[in-house]
Amino acid sequence: MDNDSFQQEVLNELGDDKLTEIAGLLGTDAAGAQNVVASTADAFAGGLAEKAENATPQEAEEVRQALSEASEPPLQGVATLGGGMGGLLGGGMMAGVLAKMAKPVANAVAKKTGLPAASVTRAIEIALPVVLAVVTKRATQRRNPGGSAGGSAAGAAPGASGGGLGDLLGQVLGGGKK
């Protein structure tokens, strides 16, 4: 499954300094911080996929529009996002979708890792702008056929009929239906 590449891309974007900061917040080492960030990336990707599967038409359209907006040029890279949840203000609709998921993701990661939910929440505040940046970058690559996504689906409009929202998210996050 390609979720591993999504995790790795989030870890790469986060960098050693932020991983060290997260490790300090969690009271763990770099490997423990990487585990929490990987679990967080998985939980966000899984949460978006679940939201797509179980979405009302209105929720599905919100995610579809958020992905479409995320692929637009103005938002690029982690530097434009600032830090913490406040940095998500410039992230548009996708930032809102991810911010709504932050507490359930923090609870799920805390349960999985055994770490206190409050500590995981603080770590997610650091990681969330990076997750947003990676989703944005991938959505942009998917929308621009010249990007690494390639293939006939790369130029398809986010609202295009065919595979549906789950397939669209699979193309952006990896691990889509084969």
CB of 88 within 8 A of CB of 127? no
pTM over 0.75: no
Q: Give pLDDT, residue 135.
A: 85
Place of tokens 């923090």: 106
- The number of residues in the chain equals 178
CB of 115 within 8 A of CB of 36? yes
- Taking alpha carbons only, the member of 64, 75, 82 closest to residue 157 is 64
pLDDT tens, the chain, 178 aa long = 456 788 999 999 999 999 999 999 999 999 999 999 999 999 988 888 887 778 788 877 787 888 778 777 544 444 444 444 444 445 578 888 888 889 999 999 999 999 999 999 999 999 999 988 888 888 887 777 554 443 333 334 444 334 566 677 777 776 543 3
Q: Give pLDDT, residue 40.
A: 93
